[in-house]
Amino acid sequence: MSLFGLLKRPDINAGVETARAEKGAVILDVRTRQEYMQERIPGSINIPLDELDGIQLQIPEKSTPVFVHCLSGARSSAAARILKNMGYTNVTDIGGISGYRGKTERG
């Protein structure tokens, strides 16, 4: 892999498109509840990064495709590592909602 490949950030737009096409996939937003209420991707679920230890209540099947995002990509990267360490086998970090160009919702 080239140095440029290492520096490339995930593309949230492509990630959401892939998640929507994959049966049973979950778009997981790991931002705070307040951030989630301000703006979110329709159909996403919110489990803040510091509450990931409770994810098995919402996503019990560890082979579920999980597409993780946050605001800029830092928390989603950490969350993807944590989920993999918890035994989730199909985790993709799709980066930050700050780069998302699709429809969002509030409230």
Which sequence spans correspond to the domains of the chain? 3-99
- Of how many residues is the chain composed? 107
Q: Among candidates 105, 102, 19, which has minimal Cα distance to 65?
A: 19
Question: pLDDT tens for residues 70-97?
Answer: 999 999 999 999 999 999 999 999 999 9
Whether 107 has a pLDDT exceeding 90, the answer reads no
Catalytic annotation on 70?
yes
pLDDT number for residue 22: 97
Residues 71, 85: Cα–Cα separation, whole Å? 22
Binned at pLDDT 50, 70 and 90, residue 9 comes out as: confident
Whether 6 has a pLDDT exceeding 60, the answer reads no
Half-sphere exposure (CA, 13 Å, Cβ side) for 90? 16
Catalytic residue among 70, 71, 91, 94: 70
* CATH dotted code for 3-99: 3.40.250.10
